[in-house]
Amino acid sequence: MPVPGATPEGREALRLLLTRYSVSAKHLREPGPGDDELWAMAMAALRAPDHEKRVPFRFAVARGEGLERLAALFVDYGRRHGKAGPDLEREREKAMQAPVVVAVIARINPGDDVVPVHEQWTTVGGAIANAVNALHFMGYGAKMVAGARASDPAIAAAHCVEGEILVGWIAAGTMHEPAKARGEIDPSCVLGRF
Ligand SMILES: Cc1cc2nc3c(=O)[nH]c(=O)nc-3n(C[C@H](O)[C@H](O)[C@H](O)COP(=O)(O)O)c2cc1C
């Protein structure tokens, strides 16, 4: 089906959006997004629908030394879970695969009288979606991951201050091989009538 849109720019933007897919960290290499591109990613995240503009999230970028810190946290996590030798090395690799890893940190205020918690979380999700879309538009592969490490208290404490929640990480970089094609989900399964 041709992509609808009133202008060629709109059609191209929509075409790009409809071709976004996640690229896991093991397929990502240098170069990763630079400062200007991460700035644009954050601007895109800030375009997510956000009731009363609470901005219930922030990003923490790990590159170089930051990735070493993340790797040390993952190795410590592995040790605490009984891993040793090559398994511990894999923990380190997990953190070091992508050239840029952006932690997504939620700042949900349960006491907000106007914006309920579910709306604040919705904004966090929108911000993540806009961020990975922006990275895709700029030519980078990216994937949002969380898993057990994101909810580990020691790893979370290294990222968050009081009241914040570590949601997970967006791994970003250049794809070193084409990603596998994936099947489309039929939009009729989400598009109904009221
Ligand atoms: C908050 C959040 C956490 C996620 N955590 C993981 C994860 O730990 N591992 C994983 O394989 N996918 C995770 N995903 C899903 C991937 O980011 C991705 O959307 C999924 O693999 C589908 O691929 P696609 O984006 O190409 O459709 C998470 C998504 C979100 C929004």
Please give the CATH number for the structural domain made up of 21-63+98-177: 3.40.109.10
* pLDDT, averaged across the chain: 96
Q: How many CA atoms lie within 13 A of 16 on its CB side?
A: 16
Pair 130, 90: CB distance under 8 Å: no
Residue-range domain boundaries for the chain: 21-63+98-177
Name the burial class of residue 106, with classes exposed (0-12), middle (13-18) and buried (19+) by CB atoms within 10 angstroms of its CB. buried
Listed in sequence order, the residues at least 6 apart from 25 whose beta carbon sits closer than 8 Å to its beta carbon are 94, 97, 98, 101, 143, 145, 171, 173
102, 136, 145, 190: residue to mutate for ligand 1 pocket, most atoms within 8 A of CB: 145
Residue 162 pLDDT: 97
Coil, strand or helix at 100: strand
Q: Give me ligand 1 centre to Cα 168, in Å.
A: 10
Q: Report the candidate in 140, 121, 124, 120 with the shortest Cα–Cα distance to residue 132.
A: 140
User: In this structure, what token pair is assigned to residue 162?
Assistant: 């009081």
- pLDDT above 90 covers a percentage of the chain that reads 92
Residue 181 pLDDT: 67
Quote the radius of gyration of the chain (alpha carbons, Å).
18
Q: Report the candidate in 176, 148, 170, 171 with the shortest Cα–Cα distance to residue 74.
A: 148
Element (H, E) at 59: strand 57-62
Give the nearest ligand 1 atom to 144 CA.
Answer: 17
Q: What is the pLDDT of residues 177-190, one digit of tens each?
A: 776 767 788 999 99
Residue 174 pLDDT: 98
Q: What is the pLDDT of residues 113-152, one digit of tens each?
A: 999 999 999 999 999 999 999 999 999 999 999 999 999 9
Give the nearest ligand 1 atom to 104 CA.
Answer: 1
> Ligand 1 atom 9: the closest Cα is on which residue?
145
Cis before residue 56, ω within 30 degrees of 0? Answer: no
- Asked which of 1-5, 65-69, 130-134 is least confident by mean pLDDT, the reply is 1-5
Give the chain's end-to-end CA distance (angstroms, integer).
25
Residue 45 pLDDT: 99
Cβ–ligand 1 distance for 122 under 6 Å, the answer no
Q: Give me ligand 1 centre to Cα 172, in Å.
A: 13
pLDDT at 110 over 80: yes
105, 128, 144, 152: residue to mutate for ligand 1 pocket, most atoms within 8 A of CB: 144
Give the nearest ligand 1 atom to 143 CA.
Answer: 17
